[in-house]
């Protein structure tokens, strides 16, 4: 998945419980009467696009005036100073310290999809260790820079540079961070032995997950027995989370190294087990302690900033681990329809904590704020995004990489640039004013080529790289609305 690296990510909204949304609203009367001057193709009988289209500068001004736009701009300003909330695009994190005091550089994957990078990233945030960030491609998504390979010949991520010394392997990195920066401890001394018991259980869970998802189902330990083995180990993890007060493995009020070691892969298990095996791990009575644990994480900025959505994961997991094998059950078919967007990337969009992919209140800003975030992100680098869309009718790159949706050397067909530009401006306008209705149309023959350009973008919107999950979902749905209308 490599697309919206063309759209600079900015800070997710500062969310509070509830769906209050923002008060700023763009109404139809705000639109200058500028007619679209190119044919969009046959318009669906049930989907109509606005008759007017604004310039990018006009749209930018409207987006910046919304409450969401103001919040994002303020976060961007703080982020440029090394402060503010954690974010996938941050290059410096100071936590009130001087830049001269920074001893650490974290080299992590560019998109925020590497589970091993995620746990180290979260640890630095939780311990408030000042650090710099260098973002590097995973091999599945493009070439690694020569300067990085000279520094780290293996090219593996994550890498920590501490006082000029290179350290690899995520758990080793985490142990050294804990020893070097002890002010906010993440392994309580009284639970050291418990931690050493729980860490091997995490490796067992990881092994059982691989046996379930990355091998075809069938009789024996690698088929029907694989699900039973995984569920039994998941039961043990759930039980361990219920042994001490509070939501965390080692008790207390904050997560430990053990929690971070688990969460990055369990997050990916949530998506992959549902998508390929029809096994729902979230919001179940059987694994209530794990659900409580996730709810606690979803209140923490370090996790909110690093968490992906299910669609992103089912696209980014195979390049890292190998293909997932789908069961043929009705549960799998239903899950794939939802996660792939066939049943969910449609307006009106409804996201809640009861969904197959639950969105907790703590991460749900409401429909208007999600729309305005998506609009702001799209506007922020519109020219590159327009050209990126034109790859949908262009030529594949000369060199291909492991990720199926990654094509960093693709050649865009700029003959579609004008049409794509106007359709993206239309999409932004719909995001800003909320006027898009129910989408039930079908793309005309005349509109199919330019629709392919919009779909190319839609299918490559990634979380957290590009925007928050609610914003990504609403952008995907609005792109489908426009696709239906052309």
Residues 6+ apart with CB under 8 A from 181: 127, 129
Closest alpha carbon to 270 in 258, 262, 282: 282
Q: Which residues pair with 166 in a beta bridge?
A: 161
What tokens does 203 get?
Answer: 């490796």
Distances (CA, A) of 272 to 214, 275, 303, 321, 339: 10, 5, 19, 11, 10
Q: Phi and psi (nearest 5°) for 44? A: -60, 150
Written as tens digits, the pLDDT of the chain (486 aa) is: 334 433 333 222 222 223 333 333 333 333 333 333 334 433 444 567 888 899 999 999 999 999 999 999 999 999 999 999 999 999 999 999 999 999 999 999 998 999 999 999 999 999 999 999 999 998 888 889 999 999 999 999 999 999 999 999 999 999 999 999 999 999 988 999 999 999 999 999 999 999 999 998 875 444 579 999 999 999 999 999 999 999 999 999 999 999 999 999 999 999 999 999 999 999 999 999 999 999 999 999 999 999 999 999 999 999 999 999 999 999 999 999 999 999 999 999 989 999 999 999 999 999 999 999 999 999 999 999 999 999 999 999 888 777 778 888 899 999 999 999 999 999 999 999 999 998 777 888 999 999 999 999 999 999 999 999 999 999 999 999 999 999
Q: Residue 426 corresponds to which tokens in the numbers above?
A: 């239309």
Please give the C-alpha separations between residue 431 and each of 53, 192, 195, 435, in angstroms, as whole numbers. Answer: 13, 50, 47, 8
pTM greater than 0.75 = yes
Locate tokens 């293996």: which residue? 154
pLDDT score, position 219: 59
Three-class DSSP labels, 360-415: CHHHCCCHHHHHHHHHHHHHHCHHHHHHHHHHHHCECCCCCCCCCCCCCCCECCHH
Count Cβ atoms below 10 Å from residue 76 Cβ, excluding itself: 16
**Residue 369: closest CA among 31, 70, 54, 49:** 70
Q: Which two tokens stand for residue 195?
A: 């931690």
Helix (H, G, I), strand (E, B) or coil at 159: strand
Neighbours of 166 (CB within 10 A): 12
Strands 159-162 and 165-168 come out as: antiparallel
The DSSP element (H or E) to which 160 belongs, if any, is strand 159-162
- Distance (Å, whole) CA 58 – CA 55: 5
Q: Using a CB cutoff of 8 Å and minimum separation of 24, what contacts does 287-292 make?
A: 287/234, 287/235, 287/238, 288/238, 289/238, 289/239, 289/241, 289/242, 289/247, 290/234, 290/237, 290/238, 290/241, 290/266, 292/241, 292/247
Are 403 and 417 in contact by the 8 Å Cβ rule? The answer is no
Per-residue pLDDT, 220: 47
CA–CA gap between residue 361 and residue 358 (Å, rounded): 9
Residues 406, 141 contacting (CB under 8 angstroms): yes
């Amino acid at each position: 998945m490599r697309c919206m690296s063309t759209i600079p990510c900015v800070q997710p909204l500062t969310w509070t419980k509830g769906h209050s949304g923002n008060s700023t609203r763009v109404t139809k009367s705000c639109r200058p009467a500028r007619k679209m001057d190119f044919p969009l193709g046959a318009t669906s009988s049930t989907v109509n696009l606005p008759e007017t289209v604004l310039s990018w500068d006009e749209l930018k001004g409207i987006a910046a005036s919304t409450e969401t736009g103001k919040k994002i701009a303020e976060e961007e300003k703080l982020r440029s100073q090394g402060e503010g909330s954690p974010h996938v695009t941050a290059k410096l994190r100071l936590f009130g310290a001087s830049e001269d005091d920074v001893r650490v550089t974290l080299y992590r994957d560019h998109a925020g999809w590497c589970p091993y990078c995620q746990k180290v990233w979260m640890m630095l945030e939780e311990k408030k260790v000042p650090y710099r960030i260098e973002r590097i491609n995973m091999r599945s998504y493009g070439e690694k820079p020569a300067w990085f390979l000279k520094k780290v010949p293996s090219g593996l991520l994550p890498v920590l540079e501490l006082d000029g010394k290179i350290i690899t392997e995520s758990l080793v990195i985490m142990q050294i961070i804990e020893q070097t920066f002890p002010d906010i401890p993440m392994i309580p001394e009284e639970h050291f032995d418990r931690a050493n018991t729980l860490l091997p259980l995490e490796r067992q869970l990881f092994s059982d997950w691989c046996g379930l998802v990355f091998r075809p189902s069938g009789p024996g330990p690698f088929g029907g027995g694989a699900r039973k083995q995984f569920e039994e180990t998941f039961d043990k993890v759930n039980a361990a989370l219920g042994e001490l007060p509070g939501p965390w493995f080692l008790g207390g009020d904050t997560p430990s190294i053990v929690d971070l070691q688990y969460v990055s892969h369990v997050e990916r298990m949530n998506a992959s087990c549902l998508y390929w095996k029809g096994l729902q791990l979230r919001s179940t009575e059987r694994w209530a302690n794990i659900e409580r644990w996730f709810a606690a994480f979803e209140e923490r900025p370090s996790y909110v900033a690093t968490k992906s959505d299910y669609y992103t994961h089912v696209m980014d997991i195979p390049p890292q681990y190998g293909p997932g094998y789908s069961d043929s059950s009705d549960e799998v078919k239903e899950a794939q329809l939802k996660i792939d967007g066939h049943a969910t990337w449609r307006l009106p969009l409804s996201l809640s904590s009861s969904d197959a992919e639950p969105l907790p209140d703590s991460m749900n800003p409401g429909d208007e704020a999600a729309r305005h975030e998506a609009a702001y992100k799209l506007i922020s680098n519109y020219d590159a995004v327009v050209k990126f869309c034109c790859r949908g009718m262009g030529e594949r790159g000369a060199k291909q990489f492991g990720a199926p949706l990654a094509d960093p050397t693709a050649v865009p067909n700029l003959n579609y640039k004008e049409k794509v530009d106007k359709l993206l401006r239309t999409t932004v306008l719909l995001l800003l004013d909320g006027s898009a209705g129910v989408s039930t149309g079908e793309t005309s023959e005349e509109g199919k080529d330019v629709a392919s350009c919009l779909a190319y973008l839609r299918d490559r919107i990634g979380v957290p790289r590009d925007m928050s999950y609610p914003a990504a979902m609403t952008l995907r749905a609005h792109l489908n609305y426009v696709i239906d209308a052309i």
